[in-house]
Chain A
Amino acid sequence: QSALTQPASVSGSPGQSITISCTGTSSDVGGYNYVSWYQQHPGKTPKLIIYDVSDRPSGVSSRFSGSKSVNTASLTISGLQAEDEADYYCNSYTRDNTYVFGTGTKVSVL
C-alpha cells in the first residue's frame, strides 16, 4: 500500500487560510469516507483533528475543516495562528482492510 500524497510544506501568514491536499486512489481515499487528519507538534504525540472526512472531535478548533472530492481529501486551516505550526498527516481506511497515512505536510506560519 503506497502512502497517500501530501505536499511537503505549506505556509501562510497569520489570519490567512491554507489548504493541505491528500491524494490517494479509489482503493482508499476515493472508496471510503473514512479519512482522518492528525496534527503533530515537534517532539509531541499525534493528535486527531478531523475524522470521517469532515467531523471534528470535541475540543478541536472550528478553524480546522475537512472535505473530499473523488480521490483527494483536503484539510483547511482558517485564521492561521502561530500554534498551528506543526506537521499534519492524513490517513485513510483501505480496500485491503488496512490503513495508510499520507506523506505528511509541514505547516509554517510566516
Chain B
Amino acid sequence: EVQLLESGGGLVQPGGSLRLSCAASGFTFGTYAMTWVRQAPGKGLDWVSGIRGNGDSTYYADSVRGRFIVSRDNFKNTLYLQMNSLTADDTAIYYCARMKGESFHRNWFAPWGQGTLVSVSS
C-alpha cells in the first residue's frame, strides 16, 4: 500500500524557516515525480512545487520561487521542502502527493499524504 507521511510543520515567526519532510513507502520512490500542494485554512488548493523522480529537475509556483527549495533523497525514500523567508500568507496545510511516473510534466496527483500544518505568526 502506498503511504505518504508528512512531518515538520509547526509554528514559526515571520521571516523564519522550516523544513518539511514526506516519508514514502509502498512503492519505488525514485521512479515517481513528487509534488507539494498547500491549503490555507478554509481556502482552496494551491500548487507549490514539484520534482522529477531522479531529482535533477525542480519546479515552483511564482509565489514561492526563490524562497522554497524542493529536494529528495531516493535512498531514504523522502521528499523535502525547505521553506525560507516565511510570511503569514504561507500559513497552510502542506500536502505531498505522488505523480504518475518519473516525469513531472503532463501529470496528476495521487495519492496524497495527510498533510502537515504550517503556521506563520508572531
Q: Is A102 in the interface zone, CB < 8 Å from B?
A: yes
Q: In the complex the two chains form, is A45's CB within 8 Å of B50's CB?
A: no
A36 to B108, CA, bound (A): 6
Q: In the complex the two chains form, is B106's CB within 8 Å of A45's CB?
A: no
A32 surroundings in chain B (CB, below 8 A): 106
Contact of B114 among A45, A87, A93 (CB under 8 A): A45
> A89-B44, A89-B45 in contact; A52/B108 too (CB < 8 A)?
yes
Q: In the complex the two chains form, is B112's CB within 8 Å of A93's CB?
A: no
Write the nearest CB–CB distance from B58 to chain A, whole angstroms.
11
B residues 26-51 touching A (CB-CB < 8 Å): 35, 37, 44-47, 50
A11 to B72, CA, bound (A): 42
In the complex, the chain A residue whose C-beta lies closest to that of B114 is: A45
A103 to B39, CA, bound (A): 11
The number of residues on chain A lying at the interface, defined by a beta carbon within 8 Å of a beta carbon of chain B, is: 26
A32 to B107, CA, bound (A): 11
Most chain A CB atoms below 10 A, which of B37, B47, B60, B114:
B47
Write the nearest CB–CB distance from A106 to chain B, whole angstroms.
10
Q: In the complex the two chains form, is B95's CB within 8 Å of A3's CB?
A: no
Contact of A102 among B44, B95, B110, B111 (CB under 8 A): B44
Q: Which A residues form the contact surface with B (CB < 8 A)?
A: 1, 3, 32, 34, 36, 38, 40, 45-48, 51-52, 57, 87, 89, 91, 93, 97-104
